[in-house]
């Protein structure tokens, strides 16, 4: 039987944001209230049949199965990070390649990019990607069948979005010179017992949307409720961040949430939303974003 609940944020990634009992507090921004029951990573951030498509006349959840295979590798990697993966193993050519690949796949997987993905595919010029992806040595831009399928086959278009666009659009190559541009931060042990970093349905925190594909913009990715990864195109000099940073970052996570934001501690989420509404609000989101990235 085909699967039904298709996650757009991997369950194994969400494990890093749960409380000690494996549960998540879920705030529904659309209705301005917490969900009545604590969720597990299995019961949040999914859409029914999101990745069910028809290929060659047959309904299939092949995309979801492929995602599950990919997630196992990423899940093991994130587990290693949460278990204390050596800094030099993470900030390495191999570790950062996995991070970049994860970001590329996650970007195109999010519901918030649905409209953009449709527009992008409608206007795509495959020839500009050269030999980044080939079939039997022939670049995609020279394969007539691929062009026709992108125009006429809805199922193939979704498959293309999930597995072709991440490789075509994101530069996942790693240069040794960029290793100093990445930094891992841990929440302070004297932060009052709060689990400082939250996860939302829009978890990639990007300064300049148009420059993310070449990684020429600042980027923040919460790795867990206590661990954070940042990137700047320039060499980083900050070995630590001011305590207020995590508060502002949590508010920015909430600001760019479309519907759900989750974390381990309900009181912390409540406090973050209250401060955001009193100090910023939607009319000051860009000010908040600017302040967050000014720390990096």
The residues, ordered by sequence, that sit 6+ positions from 182 with a Cβ below 8 Å of its Cβ are 91, 96, 99, 229, 230, 231, 236
- pLDDT of the residue at 149: 93
- pLDDT of the residue at 238: 64
- pLDDT of the residue at 242: 84
DSSP string, the chain: ----EEESS-HHHHGGGS-TTS-BEEEETTTTEE-SS-B-GGGSSEEETTT-EEETTEEE-HHHHHHHHHHHHHHHHHHHHHTT--HHHHSSHHHHHHHHHHHHHHHHHSGGGHHHHHHHHHT--GGGGTTSSEETTEEGGG-HHHHHHHHH-HHHHHHHHHHTHHHHHS-----GGGGGGEEEEE--TTSTT-----EESS--EES-GGGGGGT-S-EEEE-SSSEEEEE-SSPP--SS--HHHHHHHHHHHHHT-SSEEEES-HHHHHHHHHHHHHHT-GGGHHHHHHHHHHT-
Percent of the chain past pLDDT 70, that is, above it, reads 96
- pLDDT of the residue at 193: 56
Count Cβ atoms below 10 Å from residue 211 Cβ, excluding itself.
14
- pLDDT of the residue at 194: 64
pTM: 0.93
- pLDDT of the residue at 225: 93
Mean pLDDT by 10 residues, the chain (296 residues): 86 92 96 93 95 87 90 82 79 90 96 97 95 93 94 94 97 91 80 78 96 96 92 76 90 97 95 96 94 94
pLDDT per residue over 226-265, tens digit each?
999 999 998 766 667 888 999 999 999 999 999 999 999 9
- pLDDT of the residue at 189: 59
Work out the burial of residue 17: count CB atoms within 10 Å of its CB; fewer than 13 is exposed, 13-18 middle, 19 or more buried.
buried
- pLDDT of the residue at 38: 84
């Amino acid at each position: 039987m085909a699967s039904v609940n298709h996650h757009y944020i991997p369950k194994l990634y969400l494990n890093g944001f749960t409380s000690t009992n494996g549960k998540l507090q879920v705030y529904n921004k659309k209705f301005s209230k917490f969900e009545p029951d604590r969720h597990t990573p299995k019961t949040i951030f999914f859409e029914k049949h999101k990745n069910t498509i028809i290929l060659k006349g047959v309904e299939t959840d092949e995309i979801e199965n492929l995602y599950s295979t990919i997630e196992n590798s990423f899940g093991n990697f994130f587990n290693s990070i949460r278990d204390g993966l050596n800094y030099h193993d993470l900030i390495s050519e191999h570790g950062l390649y996995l991070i970049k690949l994860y970001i590329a796949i996650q970007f195109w997987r999010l519901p918030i990019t649905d409209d953009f993905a449709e527009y992008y595919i409608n206007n795509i010029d495959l020839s500009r990607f050269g030999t980044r992806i080939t079939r039997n040595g022939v670049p995609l831009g020279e394969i007539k069948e691929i062009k026709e399928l992108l125009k006429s086959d809805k199922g193939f278009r979704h498959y293309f979005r999930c597995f072709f666009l991440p490789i075509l659009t994101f530069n996942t190559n790693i240069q040794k010179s960029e290793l100093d541009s990445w930094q891992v931060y841990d929440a302070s042990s004297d932060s009052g017992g709060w689990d400082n970093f939250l996860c939302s349905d829009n978890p990639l925190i990007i300064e300049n949307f148009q420059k993310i594909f070449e990684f020429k913009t600042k980027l923040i990715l919460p790795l867990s409720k206590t661990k954070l990864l940042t990137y700047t195109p320039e060499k980083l000099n900050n070995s630590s961040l001011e305590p207020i940073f995590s508060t502002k970052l949590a508010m920015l996570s909430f600001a760019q949430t479309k519907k759900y934001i989750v974390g381990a501690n309900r009181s912390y989420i409540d406090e973050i939303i209250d401060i955001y509404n009193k100090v910023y609000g939607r009319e000051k989101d860009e000010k908040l974003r600017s302040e967050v990235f000014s720390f990096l």
